Chain A
Amino acid sequence: MLFGRKKKNPIKLPDKGVVEWKYTTCGYCSTGCSIEVGLNEKGEAVTSRGVGDADVNRGKLCLKGIFEHELFRSSGRGKVPLIRDKRFQAFQETSWDQALDKVSAAIKNIQAEHGRDAFAIVSTGQIMTEEFYTLGKLARGVIGTNNYDGNTTLCMASAVSGYKRSFGSDGPPGCYEDFEHTECLLAIGSNLPEQHPVIFWRLREALEKRKFPVIVVDPRVTMFAQMADIHLPIKPGTDVALLNSFAHVILKEELADEAYIKAHTTGYDAFSQLVEDYDPFSASQICGIDEDTIRNVARVYAKAGAAMTIWTMGINQSTHGSDGVVGINNLNLITGNIGKPGGTSLSITGQCNAMGTREWSSCSGLPGYRALEKEQDRKEIAEFWGIDAEFFPKKRGLSQTDIFPAIETGQIKGLWIIATNPMTSMPNTTRIRKILEKLDFLVVQDAYADVELNEYSHVYLPAAIWAEKEGCFTNTERRVNLISNVIKPYADSKPDLWIFNQMAQRFAQGQKMNFPETASGVFDELRTLSKGRMLDYSGMSHEKIEAQRGIQWPCSDGSETGTARLYTDGRFQYADGRAKLIPLPFVDNNERPDKEYPFWLNSGRVVEHFHTRTRTGKLGNLNKFSPTPYMEMNPDAAKRLGIKHGSYARLTSRRGDAVVMVQTTQRIPPNMVFVPFHFHECVNRVSLGLLDPHSRQPAFKQCAVQVEPIDDQEAAAVRNKAARTY
Chain B
Amino acid sequence: MYKVRDKEPAYAFVPQVDAPQTNRYGKKIELVDKTDPLAGKSLNINGDTSVSDNPNRYKQHGFYFNADNCIACHACESACSEKNDLPPHIAYRAVGYVEGGSYPNYTRLNISMACNHCDNPVCLKGCPTRAYTKFAEYGAVLQDPDICFGCGYCTWVCPYNAPQLDTTRGHVMKCNMCVDRLEVGLKPACAAACLGGALDFGVIETTPEKREQLKTSIPGFPTTDITHPNIRFQQSRSLPREMKRTDAMPLRYERDQAGASEYRSKLHDQGEKPEWNLAKLHSREDPLVIFTLITQTVVGVFLALFLAPYFGLGELSRAANPVLQPVVLFSLLGLETFALALSTLHLGRPHRFYRAFNNLRYSPVSREVAGVAVFFNLLASYTLLSSFPALFAWLPQNLFIGLQQFCAWAAVLSGPLAIYFMHRIYRIKARPFWNHWQVLTSFYGNMLSIGSVLVIVIFAAALLFRGQSFSHLIEIMRWPLLLGLLLDGTGLYFHTRDNIRAGGEAAASHFQQRTRFGKTWMLRNMLLAAAGVLVLALSVTMIDGGWAYSLWLFSALLIIFSALISRALFYVLVIPTTMPGAFFWRNRGFQEHARETGLADMPQVGVVHDTH
Contact between chains at A4 and B133 (CB < 8 Å): yes
Q: B410 to chain A: which residues have CB within 8 Å?
A: none
- Interface stretch, picked from B2-10, B259-267, B427-435, B502-510, is B2-10
Q: Of A60, A63, A66, A663, which one neighbours B246 at CB under 8 angstroms?
A: A663
Q: Is the CB of B604 within 8 A of A4?
A: no
Q: For chain A, give the interface size range.
A: 35 or more
Q: A716: nearest residue on chain B (CB-CB)?
A: B597
Q: Is the CB of B133 within 8 A of A8?
A: yes
Q: Which of A58, A61, A63, A666 contacts B106 (CB 8 A)?
A: A666
Centre residue among B136, B597, B604, B606 by max chain A CB count within 10 A: B604
**Cβ–Cβ contact A59 & B606, under 8 A:** no
Distance, CA A47 to CA B83, complexed state (A): 8
The answer to whether B73 and A194 touch across the interface, beta carbons within 8 angstroms, is yes
Contact of A2 among B78, B124, B248 (CB under 8 A): B124
Instruction: Give bound CA distance, A63 to B72, whole Å.
Output: 11
Comparing B43-51, B199-207, B391-399, B549-557, the segment that makes contact with chain A is B43-51
A181 to B290, CA, bound (A): 68
Determine how close the nearest CB of chain A comes to the CB of B406; give it in whole angstroms: 36
Task: Report the minimum CB–CB distance from B37 to chain A (whole Å).
Answer: 9
Q: Which A residue's beta carbon lies closest to that of B272?
A: A644
Shortest B583–chain A CB gap in Å is 5
**B106/A221 in contact, CB under 8 A:** yes
- Closest Cβ of chain B: how far from A630's Cβ, in Å? 6
A666 touches B9 (CB 8 A): no
Q: In the bound complex, what is the Cα–Cα distance between A670 and B606 (angstroms)?
A: 32
Shortest beta-carbon distance from B319 to chain A in Å: 53
Proximity bits, A397-435, B CB within 8 Å = 1, else 0:
000000000000000000000000000000000000000
- A665, B246: Cβ atoms closer than 8 Å: yes
User: Which of the candidate stretches B158-166, B320-328, B535-543, B585-593 sits at the interface with the other chain?
Assistant: B585-593
**A605 nearest CB across to chain B (Å):** 12
Given A53-B7, A59-B8, answer yes or no on A667-B99 (Cβ-Cβ < 8 Å). yes
- Tell me the interface secondary structure of chain A in the complex: loop
Question: Does any Cβ of B come within 8 Å of A607's Cβ?
Answer: yes
Residue of A nearest to B72 (CB): A223
On chain B, the residues within 8 Å of A645 by CB distance are 246, 270
Q: With a CB–CB cut-off of 8 A, which chain B residues contact A665?
A: 99, 106, 108, 246
* A12 within 8 Å of B (CB atoms): yes
Of A200-208, A259-267, A356-364, A471-479, the one with at least 4 CB within 8 A of chain B: A200-208
Residue numbers in B under 8 Å from A201 (CB-CB): 195-197
Task: Give the CA-CA distance A624 to B102 in the complex, in Å.
Answer: 28
How many CB-defined contacts (below 8 Å) exist between A and B?
A: 230
1/0 contact string of A570-592 vs chain B (CB within 8 Å): 00000000000000000000000
- Report the bound CA distance from A548 to B23 in whole Å: 46
B285 within 8 Å of A (CB atoms) = no
Contact partners of A11 in chain B: CB under 8 A: 43-46, 142, 176, 179
- Cα A2 to Cα B135 in complex, Å, equals 9
Contact in complex: B78, A624 (CB < 8 Å): no
* A62, B195: Cβ atoms closer than 8 Å: yes
- Which B residues between 74 and 129 are near A, CB-CB below 8 angstroms? 74-75, 77-79, 81-89, 99-104, 106-108, 110, 119-121, 124-125
Q: How far is the CA of A619 from the CA of B606 in the complex (A)?
A: 10
B146 contacts which chain A residues (CB < 8 A)?
9, 12
The verdict on A13 contacting chain B, using a C-beta distance below 8 Å, is: yes
Contact B5 A61 (CB under 8 A): no
Measured between alpha carbons, how far is A360 from B502 in the docked complex, in Å? Answer: 67
B590, A646: Cβ atoms under 8 Å? yes
With contacts A3-B136, A15-B46 known, is A620 near B603, CB below 8 A? yes
Do A197 and B73 contact each other (CB < 8 Å), given the known contacts A8-B135, A646-B590, A665-B99? yes
A67: Cβ under 8 A from any B Cβ: yes
**Chain B interfacial residues counted at CB < 8 A:** 90
Q: Is A618 an interface residue (CB 8 A)?
A: yes
Contact present for B46 and A233 (CB under 8 Å): no
CA–CA, A158 and B272, complex, Å? 48
A352 to B563 alpha-carbon distance, docked (Å): 61
A47–B82 CB distance below 8 A:
yes
Which of A16, A53, A223 is in CB contact (< 8 Å) with B71? A223
Contact status A624-B606, CB under 8 Å: yes
CB neighbours of A667 from chain B (8 A): 99, 103, 106, 108
B602 within 8 A of A: yes
Chain B nearest CB from A26 CB (Å) reads: 13
CB pair B83–A14 under 8 Å, yes or no, is: yes
- Contact A625/B246 with A9-B147, A666-B102, A726-B604 known, Cβ cut-off 8 Å: no
The answer to the question of B144 belonging to the interface, with a C-beta cut-off of 8 Å to chain A, is yes
Q: Can you report 21 residue pairs joining A to B where beta carbons are below 8 Å apart?
A: A8-B44, A9-B147, A11-B43, A11-B179, A13-B180, A67-B78, A197-B73, A200-B196, A221-B104, A221-B108, A223-B108, A224-B71, A607-B74, A619-B604, A620-B87, A621-B78, A623-B606, A625-B584, A628-B605, A667-B108, A726-B602
Task: Please give the residue numbers on chain B whose beta carbons come within 8 Å of chain A beta carbons, in ascending order.
Answer: 5-9, 11-12, 27-28, 31, 38, 41, 43-47, 69, 71-75, 77-79, 81-89, 99-104, 106-108, 110, 119-121, 124-125, 130, 132-136, 142, 144, 146-147, 176, 179-180, 192-193, 195-197, 210, 246, 248, 270, 582-585, 589-590, 593-594, 596-599, 602-607
Apart from A61-B193, A62-B75, A194-B71: 15 A-B pairs, beta carbons within 8 A: A1-B27, A1-B31, A3-B133, A3-B135, A9-B44, A10-B47, A12-B146, A52-B5, A60-B75, A62-B195, A223-B72, A224-B71, A624-B585, A627-B584, A724-B599
